Amino acid sequence: MTTLKTTTTTLCAIAVALALGACQRQDDNKTAGQKLDTAVAGAEQKAAEMKSDMKQESREAQQGMGRAADAVGDKMKDAAITTAVNAELARDAELSALRINVDTVGGRVLLQGTAPNTTARERATTLVTKVDGVMAVDNKLTVGTKG
């Protein structure tokens, strides 16, 4: 904040000097007070423009941070879903979490690997659907033997 005040003060002083110089060239009939008032008004306008620009930049930075926080939050949610799905699959006697790869993106769960039979494959979809946060299940499990 101190840097902003110093910068604003410096810019105001430069604006005043430039305005006074321009006033002398354009209209020598103005009094020194009128010239000073004109210069101060110009400096105030520049300061207001700078303040507005800084507010806009601050809003944009906050929006960028918000988007980054949302992305991190989404990844954490997906990781929690993946963990919960693996736990559910591990609880099932026929479905081994070691043979099923679980990937989650945006609440959508992809299952890849093998299931011992068609019933177990379908049960995997049912189990995953019950996990909080799951939006959809893409069951790419193949029916095969343990290996």
What are the sequence ranges of the domains in the chain? 2-69, 71-143
Q: What is the pLDDT of residue 18?
A: 67
pLDDT digits (tens, 9 = 90+) for 104-115: 999 999 999 988
Region 117-142 average pLDDT = 93
For residues 1 and 102, which has the higher predicted lDDT (pLDDT)? 102
Q: What is the pLDDT of residue 104?
A: 94
State the DSSP H helix or E strand holding residue 137, giving kind and residue range, or none if neither: strand 136-143
State the DSSP H helix or E strand holding residue 103, giving kind and residue range, or none if neither: strand 100-105
Question: Check: CATH 3.40.190 for 71-143?
Answer: no
pLDDT digits (tens, 9 = 90+) for 44-100: 888 888 888 888 888 888 888 888 888 888 889 999 999 999 999 988 888 875 678
